[in-house]
Amino acid sequence: MGVIHQSTDSTDSTVDTIYVEKAHSKPSTLQPATPPQDRRPTLAEHGPLIDHNIPQADAIEQRPDLWWNGVRRTLQEPFSEFLGTFILLLFGDGVVAQVVLSGGKNGDYQSINWGWGLGVMLGVYCGGKSGAHLNPAVTFANCVFRKFPWRKFPIYTLAQVLGAFCASGIVYANYLSAINEYEGGPDIRTVPGPNTSTATAGIFCTYPQPFLSTTGQFFSEFIASTILMFCIYALKDDGNIGAGNLTPLCLFFVIFGIGACFGWETGYAINLARDFGPRLMSYFLGYGHEVWSAGNYYFWVPMVAPFFGCTFGGWMYDVFMFTGESPVNTPWLGLKRLFRPSRTKTPNHVV
Amino acid sequence: MGVIHQSTDSTDSTVDTIYVEKAHSKPSTLQPATPPQDRRPTLAEHGPLIDHNIPQADAIEQRPDLWWNGVRRTLQEPFSEFLGTFILLLFGDGVVAQVVLSGGKNGDYQSINWGWGLGVMLGVYCGGKSGAHLNPAVTFANCVFRKFPWRKFPIYTLAQVLGAFCASGIVYANYLSAINEYEGGPDIRTVPGPNTSTATAGIFCTYPQPFLSTTGQFFSEFIASTILMFCIYALKDDGNIGAGNLTPLCLFFVIFGIGACFGWETGYAINLARDFGPRLMSYFLGYGHEVWSAGNYYFWVPMVAPFFGCTFGGWMYDVFMFTGESPVNTPWLGLKRLFRPSRTKTPNHVV
Amino acid sequence: MGVIHQSTDSTDSTVDTIYVEKAHSKPSTLQPATPPQDRRPTLAEHGPLIDHNIPQADAIEQRPDLWWNGVRRTLQEPFSEFLGTFILLLFGDGVVAQVVLSGGKNGDYQSINWGWGLGVMLGVYCGGKSGAHLNPAVTFANCVFRKFPWRKFPIYTLAQVLGAFCASGIVYANYLSAINEYEGGPDIRTVPGPNTSTATAGIFCTYPQPFLSTTGQFFSEFIASTILMFCIYALKDDGNIGAGNLTPLCLFFVIFGIGACFGWETGYAINLARDFGPRLMSYFLGYGHEVWSAGNYYFWVPMVAPFFGCTFGGWMYDVFMFTGESPVNTPWLGLKRLFRPSRTKTPNHVV
Amino acid sequence: MGVIHQSTDSTDSTVDTIYVEKAHSKPSTLQPATPPQDRRPTLAEHGPLIDHNIPQADAIEQRPDLWWNGVRRTLQEPFSEFLGTFILLLFGDGVVAQVVLSGGKNGDYQSINWGWGLGVMLGVYCGGKSGAHLNPAVTFANCVFRKFPWRKFPIYTLAQVLGAFCASGIVYANYLSAINEYEGGPDIRTVPGPNTSTATAGIFCTYPQPFLSTTGQFFSEFIASTILMFCIYALKDDGNIGAGNLTPLCLFFVIFGIGACFGWETGYAINLARDFGPRLMSYFLGYGHEVWSAGNYYFWVPMVAPFFGCTFGGWMYDVFMFTGESPVNTPWLGLKRLFRPSRTKTPNHVV
């Protein structure tokens, strides 16, 4: 569809827009001489932390004198990640709440696949201004393989976790009386386990099947994350078929598929923000220490495994399929980079 | 994507097409000097009420002398809203009727999500000539945030309510004998409640779950409407990814998602026209006073809450993401406009 | 979307491609002086019956001397309708067979919606060279409202009925042993009714619910056909939003929706070819006289009602929405044409 | 549409990309004088076996000196088929595993249709660099009808089988503890049959319904393969409507439809690689000799029938619909070619 016409030659622009690039935007005249940044900027220096050259779709009424416009420009990317993840979790936790609390009458397991799939799809549409990572592990893989700036990694992760945290609170507020009804009272909050059949903690974050060992938990999250990242890079690779403006729709299918095919054992968290944010919220809401200890302290698995999985999936795609700019297309398949990462961003210095 | 080729040069054309814009359209040179309209036009002045410059797809045989062509041009927008909402309600009420009356054999809750989702999608395709709002709250938000003319708000709302009203009558006629069979006789019409298990009033409009307080009802409708408007504005924002010609398809996912994730408690009306029109029809059809009193006089919630929700959702999107022309991108975030609305339309005078 | 690049310059090309038009095609310069055809061509004159200017996708190896190439050119449109309806019925009857014969284990009512919906979608892709009507009532409406040549109506209808007839035979052959198993023996073939719970005639054609009167049957088929045609014309109207290259996908949603919302009472035949062809086949296969007498001789309803419904639906769309060339956009809303149809095709002589 | 911009100038490029072609590509000037290859190249001559002119999406950092880049260029097509089939089987076998092992709680038969459908869709996106055949029978039909080089057939088939083989191993590893739980112990592995109700071999490959004779098995696989190939060629035919960049999405519907409509009797293998690779893996994993003997030695049916079905389906499409370059559009409908295949590739010498 000609979604992407312009050639991008900025140092950051090729990595900023990971999922779906700005359509129809004129080739923005990017600064030709961004000075190399040899040290991590501190949070106080938020000026250079975020690009100020976000493309403006409809610049009829740009009022740079307005205080809020400046704030929004500065924080556009965190806002975007926050809201994208917020939408994702609203739909995702919402659908689990509806299926669980209605006793399966108003939805079944397939509804859950729908909810998470379209949550990602609509979250990508909402959070497109920052590339719509919605997942710290995706941001991480983009830093490793697509030159996404490492300095943005902490703020992206923070925004994603906060978005998930807040959205799960909204879902809780919306279903408060239904949860009271289901659990049996406003003071009862339980975590899935052998002693309860009316647990509602599973609305917010994932809990594994009881027969899984920690190794099995980790492997399940690892393989699902690998598939996620491999498919994302395939969809984004214009040297392959490439999904173009169908990418958000295709991500619906990716998430639906991971949920339908690899979602039973651990609930397919595959995302630190999606799991840790709501888990923290449920802890604050009074679900007790079991949110951490359940499944033999399973909580760290969906925090750690996606980083390994997404990195491996991205590496797989780049090694076997990708012919564009990637550390894999450098000497030693870029493995040196893993052990001696370079913070410089000019193409000559990569590796 | 070149779906629509003709250039539109009416003064209101930038706001008429809310859901799916003309793709590839050049930035229309907005007339800088539209004379401010200081008084609301009365219904008698329907001449200026409706644009006469509706784009003509295939102008081979324009016969301006024909009486009906003039009528249609004058009333194109109300016709379009009427028919769009008509199609929406045909599918929406139809699917609920089929699921309820067949006892779940020919459809389940997921079918209802399908029906409402594709009802909106096809309603948008059918009612595109007026922007396919299909929802008074969406029209309201467009008036507030996208300069849709306030003078069109009443006629849009009226057309939408009428379309929903008539469509529910058709659904009733179609399923008349099945309703008689299900209720137990042609004179029995019941509203969902503790004393009946064969109520059919839920086919036409929404009734809340019994455990919900009025606050809970309002909050549930509010949050669903907020999500609706936030997603619509995200899909329409070309400064973001933008859904382009996939917008109707994406709306299918939005409605499906709201139904699957936030549809259990109140039946996700999120639309005055969708709920009030059929409720009135069911009252006329003999369902009795309970259509108003059920759920502690719940009927006003889906009439009022969507206006608050859609306005808040639109405001959220414009504050955090939108960089185009919006009252939010004016001093004081446009809050002054809420309290002192201006009826002028020239950019200089907004706020 | 540039799906089809070649320019078509045949005299009938504007009406041949009903479902999905050539995108981006220049407004073809309609020949101003096509000689009026005052008599119906006989079947013997198959020369002018079918266009010889079918667009050629890849004309590298055009061998006009080959006998079969000439036959195919001559019969391209019947072939195309035959195969499109063939594919439609393979999927449609196939999914009903699977759901019925597996006792609901390998599919449910929603599967049936999927099957018919994607059957239409893929049938349209397969039968696109003739416009993919797949339905005599759609062909009829196109003759009335879109100047599709009346002389093609019989051959289109014949090809469609034959395609449905043959496909249902293939489905029967494929599920023969399963039908024997389900009915209880190779000599037992039963039609749905009060005396059997293992009837399989419903695999092939539709049978109404027992509580429906003939009026109810007719109304149900009428309203479903009206919706079908109204939506098709909306999707095809570039003066509206228009679905462009998404049209086949949108038709999936239209059929899915009709099945989910209006499909319970009569099985949503809405198509003479889809219902009569397989019914004839099932009669030949030994299901007995009941295939005609069931439902108080219901069989004629899906043969007749779709013509009324599709004509009314097309008339509705043209009256209220369509601004292009249509008899409705002529004096007396084209009603005169219904009573005194004209066989001439030049724009000046319409009506 | 413009998804891929670069022009491809390799000699085989017109046939390499079967599923989704480069849109908007100019008709490549086919070299008129490719020297005829009169002998099959051996595997040792892998140089000419694989094209070295694979399009490069982003050639910023082409490092031809890198060892791995050369390997990847040489083996790009086998890699691509391997990974595409790998993704297909991960989703496909994964969804069956989840549905079977969760006892239908986390998925139903429709989930299986989703899983295989989106597996093909995403496999096509991942394996697009080789044309994404993912199926030896599709490769075979392309060799027969679309001039895909016969010399590539063995390596494509090998890569596809290996991809399926490896992916089923990953699925086994992922669900190992769940399989142990379901079968009753780590040493119990059973094949579907009359003596077991907890068989898990059906996760990996297909087993037919017990009432089917071998003829019925063959016919069911044959008809499903015919539909598959007929639809693929229709979707790819720009002389027809053509699906363009929607082709992978349409393939989702094709596979979903085959599964929903013709998938019950034999499990719709329609693919040697999809069935034989995982069957071999399950044999190695200890499911015993029954993986071969089940269903009266059914295992050869999904290996052989798809070749007949796909060839017949492709022949059907070319005979009745296709006007481009095909052996069918040559004297004797190309039947001579079936009996006396030519290995030359220049257009003048075909047949």
Tell me how close the Cα of D61 comes to any Cα of chain A, in angstroms.
Answer: 6
Residues of B in contact with C253 (CB under 8 A): 118, 121-122, 252
What is the count of residue pairs from A and D with beta carbons less than 8 Å apart?
173
Query: What is the rounded CA–CA span in Å between residue A299 and residue A276?
Result: 8
User: Tens of pLDDT along D143-165?
Assistant: 999 999 999 999 999 999 999 99
Tell me how close the Cα of B3 comes to any Cα of chain A, in angstroms.
Answer: 12
> pLDDT-based confidence at A49, cuts 50/70/90?
very low
At residue C134, what is the residue type?
L
Cβ-Cβ contacts under 8 Å for A177 (sequence gap 6 or more): B211, B212, B213, B216
Please report the pLDDT score of residue A282 as a whole number: 96
Alpha helices in chain D (DSSP H): 13-16, 46-49, 67-74, 76-101, 109-126, 136-145, 153-174, 176-183, 214-236, 247-262, 272-282, 290-297, 301-320, 335-339
Chain D residue at shortest CA distance from A5: D2
What letter does residue B21 receive in the DSSP assignment? P
Residue A1 structure tokens: 């569809």
ipTM value for the complex: 0.82
Identify whether the C-beta of residue D14 lies closer than 8 Å to the C-beta of residue D27.
no
Identify whether the C-beta of residue C127 lies closer than 8 Å to the C-beta of residue D317.
no
Which residue of B3, B72, B110 is in closest CB contact with C241? B3
Identify whether the C-beta of residue D342 lies closer than 8 Å to the C-beta of residue D150.
no
Residues of D in contact with A216 (CB under 8 A): 176-177
Select the more confidently predicted residue: C264 or A332: C264
Query: What is the rounded CA–CA span in Å between residue D79 and residue C164?
Result: 42
Q: SS3 of D341, please? A: coil
Cβ-Cβ contacts under 8 Å for B230 (sequence gap 6 or more): A87, A126, B313, B314, B316, B317
Identify whether the C-beta of residue D328 lies closer than 8 Å to the C-beta of residue D320.
no
- Other CB atoms within a 10 A radius of the CB of residue B68 amount to 17
Please report the pLDDT score of residue D63 as a whole number: 58
Identify whether the C-beta of residue C325 lies closer than 8 Å to the C-beta of residue C347.
yes
Which residue of D4, D57, D122 is in closest CB contact with A323? D57
Please report the pLDDT score of residue C336 as a whole number: 64
Tell me the torsion sign for CA atoms D86, D91, D96, D97.
Answer: positive
* Cα-based torsion angle of the residue sequence B61, B63, B67, B72 in order, rounded to the nearest 10 degrees: 50
Please report the pLDDT score of residue D196 as a whole number: 87
Please provide the average confidence, as pLDDT, over all residues in chain C.
82
Query: What is the rounded CA–CA span in Å between residue A234 and residue B54?
Result: 43
User: Tens of pLDDT along A242-297?
Assistant: 999 999 999 999 999 999 999 999 999 999 999 999 999 999 999 999 999 999 99
Chain D residue at shortest CA distance from A350: D61
Over residues D17-26, the mean pLDDT reads: 39
Please report the pLDDT score of residue D351 as a whole number: 33
Chain D residue at shortest CA distance from A213: D177
Q: Single out the residue of D351, D343, D349 nearest to residue D38, CA to CA.
A: D343
Residue D31 CA, distance from chain mean position = 29
Q: SS3 of B101, please? A: helix
Select the more confidently predicted residue: D42 or C170: C170
Please report the pLDDT score of residue C196 as a whole number: 87
- Other CB atoms within a 10 A radius of the CB of residue D195 amount to 8
Identify whether the C-beta of residue C224 lies closer than 8 Å to the C-beta of residue C309.
yes
Which residue of B3, B56, B90 is in closest CB contact with C244? B3
Q: Single out the residue of C40, C66, C62, C69 nearest to residue C151, CA to CA.
A: C40
What is the count of residue pairs from A and B with beta carbons less than 8 Å apart?
169
CB contact under 8 A, A87 and B227: yes
Query: What is the rounded CA–CA span in Å between residue B13 and residue B27?
Result: 12
User: Tens of pLDDT along A20-39?
Assistant: 433 343 343 333 333 444 44
Please report the pLDDT score of residue C223 as a whole number: 97
Chain B residue at shortest CA distance from A252: B253
Chain A residue at shortest CA distance from D21: A241
Identify whether the C-beta of residue C80 lies closer than 8 Å to the C-beta of residue C128.
yes
CB contact under 8 A, C61 and D223: no
- Test mutation, C207, C250, C254, C261, chain B, max B CBs within 10 A: C261
Residue located via tokens 């973001």: B240
User: Tens of pLDDT along B165-201?
Assistant: 999 999 999 999 999 999 999 999 999 988 888 999 9
Q: SS3 of D193, please? A: strand
Residues of D in contact with A263 (CB under 8 A): 98, 106
Cβ-Cβ contacts under 8 Å for C196 (sequence gap 6 or more): C190
CB contact under 8 A, D110 and C115: no
Query: What is the rounded CA–CA span in Å between residue C202 and residue C208?
Result: 10
Q: Single out the residue of B335, B322, B149 nearest to residue B230, CA to CA.
A: B322
User: Tens of pLDDT along D173-221?
Assistant: 999 999 999 999 999 999 998 888 899 999 999 999 999 999 999 999 9
Half-sphere exposure of residue C65: CA atoms within 13 angstroms, side-chain side = 3
Residue D44 CA, distance from chain mean position = 25
Query: Would you put residue D63 in left (φ > 0), alpha (ψ -120 to 50) or beta?
Result: beta
Chain D residue at shortest CA distance from C80: D321
Over residues A93-100, the mean pLDDT reads: 97
Cβ-Cβ contacts under 8 Å for B181 (sequence gap 6 or more): B101, C211
User: Tens of pLDDT along D291-340?
Assistant: 999 999 999 999 999 999 999 999 999 999 999 888 888 877 766 665 65
Identify whether the C-beta of residue A9 lies closer than 8 Å to the C-beta of residue A347.
no
Alpha carbon separation from D277 to A124, A335, C6, D161, D211 (Å, rounded): 36, 32, 43, 5, 26
Residue C109 structure tokens: 């009512």
Tell me how close the Cα of D2 comes to any Cα of chain A, in angstroms.
Answer: 5
CB contact under 8 A, A329 and D69: yes
Identify whether the C-beta of residue B206 lies closer than 8 Å to the C-beta of residue B258.
no
Residue B174 structure tokens: 């179609």
Which residue of D2, D19, D122 is in closest CB contact with A231? D122
Q: Which chains touch B (3 or more CB pairs under 8 A)?
A: A, C
- Other CB atoms within a 10 A radius of the CB of residue A47 amount to 9
Highest mean pLDDT (candidates A331-335, B238-242, D43-47): B238-242
Which residue of D1, D83, D111 is in closest CB contact with A321? D83
Tell me how close the Cα of B75 comes to any Cα of chain A, in angstroms.
Answer: 31
Select the more confidently predicted residue: C136 or A3: C136
Please report the pLDDT score of residue D277 as a whole number: 97
Residues of A in contact with B30 (CB under 8 A): 60
Residues of B in contact with C110 (CB under 8 A): 107-108, 110-111, 114
CB contact under 8 A, B257 and A62: no
Tell me how close the Cα of C38 comes to any Cα of chain D, in angstroms.
Answer: 31
Which residue of C219, C231, C242 is in closest CB contact with B173? C219
User: Tens of pLDDT along C91-125?
Assistant: 999 999 999 999 999 999 999 999 999 999 999 99
Q: Single out the residue of A321, C94, B15, A164 nearest to residue D263, CA to CA.
A: C94
> pLDDT-based confidence at B331, cuts 50/70/90?
confident
Query: What is the rounded CA–CA span in Å between residue C257 and residue B118?
Result: 7
CB contact under 8 A, D109 and C111: yes
Query: Measured at the alpha carbon of residue A248, what is the angle toward residues A247 and A251, in degrees to the nearest 5?
Result: 85
Q: What is the DSSP string of A19-34?
A: SSPPSS-------TTP
Q: SS3 of D39, please? A: coil
Q: SS3 of B238, please? A: coil
The answer on pLDDT for C2 being more than 90 is no
CB contact under 8 A, C261 and B83: no
Please report the pLDDT score of residue B2 as a whole number: 32
Residues of A in contact with B242 (CB under 8 A): 23, 57, 125, 128
Q: SS3 of A172, please? A: helix
pTM equals: 0.84
Q: Which chains touch D (3 or more CB pairs under 8 A)?
A: A, C
Q: Where are the domains of chain C?
A: 77-334
Highest mean pLDDT (candidates A64-68, B47-51, C284-288): C284-288
Query: What is the rounded CA–CA span in Å between residue A58 and residue A73?
Result: 14
- Test mutation, B31, B116, B118, B264, chain A, max A CBs within 10 A: B264
Identify whether the C-beta of residue B124 lies closer than 8 Å to the C-beta of residue C241.
yes
User: Tens of pLDDT along C150-167?
Assistant: 999 999 999 999 999 999
The answer on pLDDT for C7 being more than 50 is no
3-state secondary structure string across C215-255 = HHHHHHHHHHHHHHHHHHHHHHCCCCCCCHHHHHHHHHHHH
Which residue of D110, D244, D256 is in closest CB contact with C118? D256
Residues of C in contact with D110 (CB under 8 A): 107-108, 110-111, 114
Just give the CATH number of C77-334: 1.20.1080.10
CB contact under 8 A, A239 and D126: no
CB contact under 8 A, A320 and D72: yes
Query: What is the rounded CA–CA span in Å between residue D63 and residue D83?
Result: 24
Over residues D90-97, the mean pLDDT reads: 97
Query: What is the rounded CA–CA span in Å between residue A281 and residue A274?
Result: 11
Q: Single out the residue of C175, C195, C179 nearest to residue C187, CA to CA.
A: C179
Chain C residue at shortest CA distance from B90: C261
Percentage of residues of chain C with pLDDT beyond 90: 70
Query: What is the rounded CA–CA span in Å between residue B301 and residue B320?
Result: 28
Please report the pLDDT score of residue A24 as a whole number: 41
CB contact under 8 A, B323 and A72: yes
Which residue of A122, A170, A177 is in closest CB contact with B212? A177
Identify whether the C-beta of residue A82 lies closer than 8 Å to the C-beta of residue A162.
yes
Which residue of B72, B94, B126 is in closest CB contact with C231? B126
The answer on pLDDT for B348 being more than 50 is no
